[in-house]
Amino acid sequence: MLPKILPRNPDRRRSDAYNAVLRYEAKIGGQLFGPIPKGHRREFFCLDKHTWVWHEEWVDANGVRQVVTTNYHVRPNVILKTQGNQTYQRLSNDELKNFYHAIKLYGQRVPAALQAKFRFA
């Protein structure tokens, strides 16, 4: 029975494990800034050493599904953001402070949550 549940291909298992960790990390990251309203989905995570993602989905008062994804690109001298088809923009001073606060909280809470959930060695 077990072979039907777990993929036999080691690359597939590794990919599935990576995706599970990333999904959990995004979920924990989305909870850093307080309760998520009912019907909302919020995620915040580090995709790679230069890219952070904030993703939020909800249904508005008119019943229309709204989706906003912000990508933050960390460069040596600047942090840029983009949403949808918009061009890259530098973070304002307030956004830079909020982003710094977010990644600091992330660094404090997410690794511990991952350790507890997945029992890494």
pLDDT in tens, 16-60: 888 888 899 999 999 988 888 888 999 999 999 999 999 999 999
pLDDT class for 112, splitting at 50, 70, 90? confident
pLDDT class for 5, splitting at 50, 70, 90? low
53 sits in which H/E element: strand 51-59
Total structural domains in the chain?
1
pLDDT class for 85, splitting at 50, 70, 90? confident
pLDDT at 87 over 70: yes
Report the percent of the chain where pLDDT is more than 90.
Answer: 61
Structural domain including 36 reads 2-118
Could you tell me the CA-to-CA distances from 70 to 2, 14, 35, 114 in Å, in that order? 39, 27, 20, 23
Give the model's pLDDT for residue 71.
Answer: 96
Q: What is the pTM of this model?
A: 0.81
**With the C-alpha atoms ordered 43, 56, 79, 87, is the resulting torsion angle positive or negative?**
positive
